Amino acid sequence: MSGWRFLLSKRWAGYLALTVLFAVVCVFLGNWQLARRAEAQAEIQRVDNNWSAEPVPLAEALPTLDSFDESQKWLPVVMEGEYIQEDELLVRTRPRAGMPGFEVLTPLQLADGTVFIVNRGWLPTGSAQDAPDVVPSAPDGTVTIVARLKAGEPSLAGRSSSGNQISTIQLHEVSERLGTDNYTGAYGLMISETPEAIDPRPLAVIKPPRDEGPHLSYAFQWYVFAIMAFIGLGWAARQEFRAVNIDDPAERKRAAARATKQSLKTRSDSEIEDEILDNAR
């Protein structure tokens, strides 16, 4: 089968199909990376908009117990109530700076009887047990809390609660566990409490960095892989064309020219000069 007719074979149809499939997968992964980048940019925008905003009353930000919009993430809210310290919970498996630890959730009962879950901060795992060595007590009596809104977390399959420890901040489950009328759309990451507790508070949340990650470069890499797949297919087709048409005089002439060119590339300057001198004699 001379010329390019070999490209019409089932074998080359299979090669083309595999190349197209590979390219489609690469484009899909590239698009996925761009979507991840868009999510990261949206998160950066929420931090920029809300982190340093003036606190708004909780009832204004969340008019119903299940209210919350993702655009409100990190928005500071202010509320007044009393901590229910006997119902305090610890969220396990919360690493920070490479150290294992817990987050402290203390329910805050508001004047209307509803309960808002306040994340008072992070504590390291204790030295002798799978729990903090000491959990600082929250202030008694009426306190004014400023906290950042954050959506509740999903349930984790196969994870169970044990004592006062839970595996995830699933607000509906927390509400059922406490038997109280809780806000279930969002909880709060504490910024401040007035009056302050006597004991040093758990470590506050750190402001997220303005970093969208390497998603854009990864997306470009996947798109380049898709293009390279077709380049590789073309190179393979060209190589087979040369092998199939090896008896063609024109192809033999081109093969000889390529061999000569390759030989000149691999020979040193001194070898070329010696050949020129030999031919001149």
Decide if 206 is inside a domain.
no
Decide if 277 is inside a domain.
no
Domain identity same for 11 and 143: no
Q: State mean pLDDT over 76-89.
A: 96
Percent above pLDDT 70 for the chain: 86
Domain identity same for 16 and 99: no
- The helix or strand, by DSSP H or E, that contains position 31, with its residue range, turns out to be helix 10-50
Q: For position 3, what pLDDT does the model report?
A: 76
The domain tally of the chain equals 2
**Domain ranges, residue 240:** 5-34+213-271
pLDDT at 258 over 90: no
pLDDT at 109 over 80: yes
